[in-house]
């Protein structure tokens, strides 16, 4: 059928498109765009779904498709004449009596007009978005560009400041080392001079004795008897007359990774990451108290760098065990600051935990051993960690021993009798730079203090759960962690004089204690079963906080 508008003479003899009978076809269904005889017209309009079709006498108007039609993709010789509202596709007359039978069908022009209205509505929506959303988002993107420039400039300034501080500190260290060499040189040179004088004195004594020998030998006098009997047969020289000691520089391993651990790193958290970090856990966590109720001095070592408790473990109500990583003794203190008892281990204890028998599992860094210490003070070797030095230790709920090993980027797990079970937990994802201390929380995750200025949490299988590296834009230097009864993590922030509280999913909750509250260089922390929080400091002071209600 032509799009140009053909006219059909009334009363012309044309086959009926329904029954294909060669009769006097006088009717046209404009909805279906077909010619029909009187009989088929009555049947057509008698069906419920076709009652609204426009059927007119031939010749009353043009029989032309209201829109530019297309041939049916199934019946290539027939134009589309209707629109199936159920299937949302055009249909020809043959389609209407086959796959679209009993479907709700619209006149093609009506459907076209309806969809054209919808198209115009879409067009208006697009125009509205173009006029409103696009400019708004351009402004936001421009603000993001400015934020990026500002934050990157601030980061570069902080890096430059850190570099300057590092260079200043490094120069101080090197100047001190050079001065140490100078003092050692002067001291040993003085020692050499004194020994040289003593040697000259010995030489003079020998020369004098030789002269006397020559005199008595030449005199042939009986005084020779007395001289030989009374004179010393040799000259006594002082011990180690030559050696005065050594001057030797023992270097530490200085590498790029070590420097990065000291200086810091660049973080690129997304907005959603930042929002997640600052919101609280969905679990109802009761409020905590941050008032220090008791403080006392408990110096645990003679080391000037750090005398305070680096590890604190709960013993019983109002009692904790403490040690310092330069101390060879475990101390039991009560909350009033009285030392109840102590156990000497005979080696410097870097870290310790208690097993199910109440014995202490302690790391001997210098001798590369992990040892069992009984309450009576008996010490036995459980693990040899050669070639690595053991650092932090945790006895998990299965009584397995989990270690941080120096120079390792993972954790190692051992059976209670010292057999290695897992060589490296968390190695696959390179989760740690230098794991230092660890604890296990209530859902059996391992919470690890990494020397890369962060706390990394992995599950029992070593899969990464979350990482906490402090509040955005602030320095963070974690020293120790403890888990409370709500699986929240308490973290001591050494250089920044803070105690952080983080929920079990790594979301920051609050800063519990600061320098203003009396905290300075916090080290070991312990959240006991009585609801108290114990905090050890570098100078040996211990603070007790009524942290939570039981």
Domain encompassing residue 214: 130-251
Quick one: angle between helices 108-219 and 256-263, nearest 10?
110
Residues 336 and 408 in one domain: yes
In a domain, 72, yes or no: yes
The string over 46-64, giving b where at least 16 C-beta atoms fall within 10 Å of a residue's C-beta and e elsewhere, is eeeebeebebeebeeeebb
Total domains present in the chain: 3
Q: How far apart are CA 184 and CA 191, in angstroms?
A: 10
Using one digit for the tens of pLDDT, what is the confidence trace for 377-405? 999 999 999 989 999 999 999 999 999 99
Task: Write the pLDDT tens digit of every residue in 530-542.
Answer: 889 999 999 999 9
Q: Please report which confidence band the pLDDT of residue 276 belongs to, taking 50, 70 and 90 as the band edges.
A: very low
Residue at 88 is within a domain: yes
Q: Taking 60 as the threshold, does the pLDDT of residue 429 lie above it? A: no
Among 55, 76, 111, give the residue marking a domain's end.
111
pLDDT band at 473 (very low <50, low <70, confident <90, very high): confident
Same domain membership, residue 341 and residue 247: no
Co-location of 223 and 366 in the same domain: no
Mean pLDDT computed over 362-382: 96
Question: Cα–Cα distance between 248 and 188 in angstroms, integer?
Answer: 13
Pick the residue with more confidence: 304 or 483?
Answer: 483
Please compute the mean of the pLDDT values over residues 136-154 and round it to a whole number.
88
The answer to whether residues 100 and 138 belong to one domain is no
The whole-number pLDDT of residue 155 equals: 84
In a domain? residue 70: yes
pLDDT at position 286 over 80 = no
**Mean pLDDT of all residues in 77-90:** 89
Q: Are residues 276 and 184 in the same domain?
A: no
Give the C-alpha separation, 542 to 544, whole Å: 7
Tell me: do 415 and 520 sit in the same domain: yes
* pLDDT for res 279: 44
Looking at the domain assignment, is residue 528 inside a domain?
yes
Q: Is there a single domain that holds both residue 211 and residue 275?
A: no
Would 441 be classed as within a structural domain? yes
Last residue of a domain, one of 230, 251, 272: 251
In a domain, 37, yes or no: yes
- Please say whether the beta carbons of 447 and 455 come within 8 A: yes
The CATH number assigned to the domain holding 502 equals 2.120.10.30
Q: Summarize pLDDT for 27-53 with one digit per residue, the tens.
A: 888 777 678 888 888 888 887 777 777
Q: Which of 80, 111, 142 is the last residue of a domain?
A: 111
Residue at 117 is within a domain: no
**What is the pTM assigned to this prediction?**
0.52
Residues 312 and 414 in one domain: yes
Per DSSP, the residues of 271-306 read HHHHHHHHSPPSS-PPP----EEEEEE------SS-
Q: What is the CATH number of the domain that holds 25?
A: 3.30.160.60
Tell whether 201 and 147 lie within a shared domain.
yes
| Position 4 in a domain | no
| pLDDT over threshold 70, residue 442 | yes
């Amino acid at each position: 059928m032509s799009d140009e508008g053909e006219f059909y003479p009334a009363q012309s003899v044309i086959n009926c498109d329904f029954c294909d009978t060669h009769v006097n076809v006088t009717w046209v269904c404009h909805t279906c765009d077909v010619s029909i005889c009187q009989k088929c017209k009555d049947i057509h309009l008698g069906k419920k779904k076709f009652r609204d079709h426009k059927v007119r006498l031939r010749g009353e108007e043009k029989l032309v498709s209201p829109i530019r039609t297309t041939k049916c993709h199934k019946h290539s010789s027939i134009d589309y004449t209707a629109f199936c509202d159920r299937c949302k596709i055009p249909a020809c007359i043959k389609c209407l009596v086959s796959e679209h039978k009993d479907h709700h069908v619209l006149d093609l022009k009506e459907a076209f007009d309806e969809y054209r209205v919808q198209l115009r509505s879409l067009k208006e929506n697009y125009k509205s978005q173009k006029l409103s959303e696009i400019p708004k988002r351009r402004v936001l993107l421009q603000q993001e560009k400015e934020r990026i420039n500002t934050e990157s400039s601030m980061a570069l300034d902080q890096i430059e400041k850190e570099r300057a501080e590092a260079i200043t500190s490094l120069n101080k260290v090197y100047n001190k080392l050079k001065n140490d060499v100078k003092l050692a040189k002067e001291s040993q040179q003085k020692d050499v001079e004194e020994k040289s004088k003593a040697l000259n004195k010995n030489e003079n004594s020998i020369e004098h004795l030789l002269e006397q020998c020559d005199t008595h030998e030449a005199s042939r006098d009986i005084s020779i008897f007395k001289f030989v009997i009374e004179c010393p047969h040799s000259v006594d020289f002082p011990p180690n007359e030559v050696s005065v000691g050594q001057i030797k520089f023992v270097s530490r391993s200085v590498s790029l990774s070590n420097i990065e651990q000291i200086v810091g790193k660049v973080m690129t958290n997304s907005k959603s990451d930042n929002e997640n970090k600052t919101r609280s856990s969905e679990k109802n966590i009761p409020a905590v108290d941050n008032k220090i109720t008791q403080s006392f001095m408990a110096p645990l070592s003679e080391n000037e760098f750090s005398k305070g408790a680096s590890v604190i473990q709960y013993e019983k109500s109002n009692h904790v065990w403490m040690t310092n990583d330069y101390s060879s003794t475990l101390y039991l203190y009560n909350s009033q600051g009285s030392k109840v008892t102590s156990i000497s281990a005979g080696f410097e204890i870097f870290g310790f935990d208690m097993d199910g028998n109440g014995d202490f599992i302690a790391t001997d860094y210098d001798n590369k051993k992990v040892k069992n210490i009984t309450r009576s003070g008996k010490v036995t070797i459980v693990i040899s960690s050669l070639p690595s030095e053991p650092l932090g230790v945790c006895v998990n709920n299965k009584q397995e021993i989990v270690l941080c090993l120096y120079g390792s980027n993972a954790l190692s797990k051992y059976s209670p009798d010292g057999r290695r079970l897992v060589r490296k937990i968390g190695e696959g994802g390179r989760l740690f730079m230098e794991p230092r201390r660890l604890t296990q929380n209530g859902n059996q995750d391992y919470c690890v203090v990494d020397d890369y200025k962060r706390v990394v949490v992995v599950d029992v299988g070593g899969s990464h759960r979350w990482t906490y590296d402090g509040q955005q834009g602030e320095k963070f230097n974690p020293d120790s962690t403890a888990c409370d009864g709500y699986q929240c993590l308490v973290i001591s922030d050494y250089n920044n004089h803070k105690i952080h509280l983080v929920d079990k999913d790594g979301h920051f909750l609050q800063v519990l204690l600061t320098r203003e509250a009396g905290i300075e260089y916090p080290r070991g922390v312990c959240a006991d079963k009585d609801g108290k929080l114990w905090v050890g400091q570098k100078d040996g002071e211990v603070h007790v906080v009524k942290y939570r209600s039981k």
